[in-house]
Amino acid sequence: MSGVEGDESTAAGSPVPDTAPPAAVETPPDDEAQRVYLRFRRVFGDPNGRSRDGRRRKAIKLGSPSQPFGTGREPRGIADVLASVTTEMGWNSPLAQSELMEAWPALVGDELSGHSHPVSIDDGTLTVQCDSTAWATQLRLMRGQVTTTIVQRYPDAGIQSVRFLAPNAPTWKRGPRSVPGRGPRDTYG
């Protein structure tokens, strides 16, 4: 009977203590999926704060107006955009090295570039293949001047030295008719 009287007093408007938790306090979830979700949310943070769309939704909720012509949104030229992208991605050195390889005729002149061509760049060393030993010797004598020009024009390439290769002499060390021993000594008589 007392339960019926309690229901009547509630209906009559007498004050009954509020047993519902406030909105700020999370109620313990009944289902395991809710408990896991709330634990992940406590550990890893709010998923709306991590993504770009979540930040945008949060900004709209906070009432900050979008500014399409605000600072930092001015249009830039394509050269500036590409320069900033190559710097951010760390492509300056490979791009400078490829420019150096393409500009070899402008660096050494038409006559020398007609008899030599850059082959590779390894660990700061530019390797150049020459048509003959005479051209390789000529370029070795000009090594200081060539290296200085490269460093001045292409500082991002990272070239520290230049190596000039002469054409390879024929060898009889390998092949179907090679034999162990001293090899040819008096071939060119």
* CATH fold of 92-165: GMP Synthetase; Chain A, domain 3 (3.30.300)
Q: Is-contact 119 127, C-beta < 8 A? A: yes
In whole angstroms, what is the distance from residue 148 CA to residue 164 CA? 15
In whole angstroms, what is the distance from residue 79 CA to residue 174 CA? 53
pLDDT digits (tens, 9 = 90+) for 33-59: 888 888 877 777 766 556 666 666 666
Domain boundaries, the chain: 32-62, 92-165
pLDDT of residue 117: 93
CA dihedral 70, 76, 82, 84 (to 10 degrees): -50
Count the neighbouring beta carbons within 10 Å of the beta carbon of residue 149: 14
pLDDT of residue 162: 93
Mean pLDDT of the chain: 75
pLDDT digits (tens, 9 = 90+) for 79-111: 888 888 888 887 778 888 888 899 999 999 999
pLDDT of residue 44: 74
Q: Taking the complete model, does pTM exceed 0.85, yes or no?
A: no
